[in-house]
Amino acid sequence: MTAPPTTRAPHPAPGDDRYKWTALTNTTAAVFMSALDGSIVLIALPAIFRGVHLDPLAPGNIAYLLWMIMGYRLVQAVLVVTVGRLGDMYGRVRIYNSGFAVFTFASVLLSFDPFDGGRGAMWLIAWRVVQAVGGSMLTANSAAILTDAFPAEQRGFALGINQVAGLAGMFIGLVAGGLLSAWDWRAVFWVNVPVGVFFTLWAYRTLRETGRRGGGRVDWWGNITFAVGLSAVLMAVTFGLQPYGGHTMGWANPLVDGLIAGGLALLAAFVAIENRVGAPMIQLTLFRLRAFTFGNLAGLAISIGRGGMQFVLIIWLQGIWLPLHGYDFGDTPLWAGIFMLPLTAGFLAAGPVSGYLSDRLGHRGLSTGGALLFGASFLGLMLLPLDFAYWAFAVLIALNGIASGMFASPNSSSIMGSVPAQLRGVASGMRATFQNSGTAVSIGVFFSLMIAGLAGSLPHSLAAGLQQQGVPAPVAAQVGSLPPVASLFAAQLGVNPIEHLLRPSGALTHLTAAQQQALTGREFFPALISGPFHSGLVIVFAFGAALALLAAIASLLRGDSPATAHPGRQEAATGDRHTRQDRCTSG
């Protein structure tokens, strides 16, 4: 398949500012909606599983729960480079508009799940994958469309708003999921439909190609090896979180080892292919650009820290802090989202401001400072007691949000401003791949650290605590052998696992009213899990602080920001260099 020859669509008139603001509004809505859907399901999962009549904590059903969370992120991580490259070849607006239509169509079908049980869960997982395809088409090309539409001296501001909209969508989705699922679980998908229809039609009517389209052929072998290789690695992370045999996790599973080894081999083959083909899927020469390489490395480290932190904070609030402060387990998903609003406020406050400042002060100082503040907030969270005073928690997560906003806007602007105009689509896709892969990997890394911390003491503590309240030893031992990952998911789902597991066995009926009240109350499970959980928290937050330090070092090494001082000269020079390389290759 050959793309149309290289063309340059007409740019907006120099005095016409309306188009760039139209592009910013539409792409910001798209990125927000795509990110919102990545997190809205997290809080709505209890209602979704009740809606399809599926017990999420049954041993065979943990896989459904994991794939409901991970499938969307996996597809977005794998596809964004490919659809970004297709945008460079066939038109970024064309691919972007098609993505809006696919995303909206999948949202409609998600809300009309005709099945129950496992088949109902598979319907949702499958259409979530299709929805993620549309989301990938949106996110991969939105930054490139903005970079084409805005002059260099305003790109930091525009990309900052776009980036913060995506990050804010992740956390607003937590609150929206709780509110909508309290009404009807299908509403978490309905909310996309009117928004998607309106912005799809508006995008088709108003957006136009304002950048270069590069000709060339589709690099099929590169696309296949990249997609299959990265999918295999991320699937291995998902399977690694599931219990295997007598192990609390699946990292000893030969399937996991095979997927990792095969995935890495295919990714190595992908690099070899990209160095040989005439029209590669990605331009490896972009990694010769210092700002591009170190900006993406810094973004990957921050993404791993941010994605894992989100899950850890939700479990901390829902599994321990909220029950200890009088909230019923069934109400904790919604309130966890509400109590995390300072994090979203930090994003919204810092992102546009840092983007505006980066256009004038440069990218390196702001992004490096944001990464250091990000790490400092992890250290502060590590020092908090489990039963913290909320004001201290709110201040720390607000600082974390401010730090992410400080980092994200200048980092994105630095990456996108360092590449030639004809490669902005693939560069945007590569940037999104680093970010989405980091989020997907972070879930595996942080959950593995938490499970490892819980596995040593939670089974014994759980069994001993149950026996002290009169539960027969065989039943207590059976509940104590519950995989730690199930306890973590119980906390995330707003389920009291003690009541959930003891009631079917009939053990509660043989206990006194006081014993039943103690076991099914708000304090028994949090008290049992708090010690092991705190040990895991220290490890997780220390790891997050180390990632932030690595991001700060990488950000500092990106060099100065010549594009800020002389944007036109920098773009022309970079474009001319790549044009000469393309001519040499074609020759």
- pLDDT, residue 200, reads 87
Name the 3-class secondary structure at 2.
strand
> To the nearest 10°, the Cα dihedral for 100, 104, 105, 110?
140
* Residue 220 · residue 9 · CB < 8 Å: no
- pLDDT, residue 564, reads 42
Walk along the chain (587 residues) and give the pLDDT tens digit of each residue.
544 444 444 444 433 578 888 989 999 888 888 888 877 887 777 778 878 888 766 666 777 877 887 788 788 878 877 787 788 778 888 899 999 899 999 988 988 888 888 888 899 999 999 998 998 888 878 878 887 888 877 776 777 677 777 777 876 787 787 778 778 888 888 888 888 888 889 888 888 877 665 555 677 888 888 888 888 887 887 788 777 777 767 778 898 889 999 999 998 998 888 888 777 777 788 888 888 899 999 999 998 888 778 778 878 888 789 888 888 877 777 788 788 889 888 877 887 788 778 777 778 888 899 999 999 999 999 999 988 999 999 999 999 989 988 898 788 878 877 888 777 767 777 777 787 778 777 877 777 777 777 777 777 777 888 888 888 888 888 777 777 766 666 666 666 777 777 776 677 777 888 887 888 777 787 877 777 778 778 888 998 999 999 999 999 888 765 444 444 444 444 444 444 344 333 33
Angle 9-352-309 (CA atoms, 0-180°, nearest 5)? Answer: 110
Closest CA to 393 of 343, 349, 331, 345: 343
| DSSP-assigned letter for residue 7 | E
Q: How far, in Å, CA of 264 to CA of 281, rounded?
A: 18
Q: Hey, what CATH class is 16-209+279-455+532-586 in? A: mainly alpha
- pLDDT, residue 33, reads 85
Phi-psi region at 489: left, alpha or beta (left = phi > 0; alpha = psi -120 to 50): alpha
Q: Where in the chain are the domains?
A: 16-209+279-455+532-586, 219-278
Sequence-distant (6+) residues with CB within 8 A of 89 are: 3, 4, 213, 214, 215, 216, 218
- pLDDT, residue 491, reads 63
Phi-psi region at 245: left, alpha or beta (left = phi > 0; alpha = psi -120 to 50): left
* Residue 185 · residue 48 · CB < 8 Å: yes
pTM of the model: 0.76
Closest CA to 148 of 58, 237, 209, 224: 209
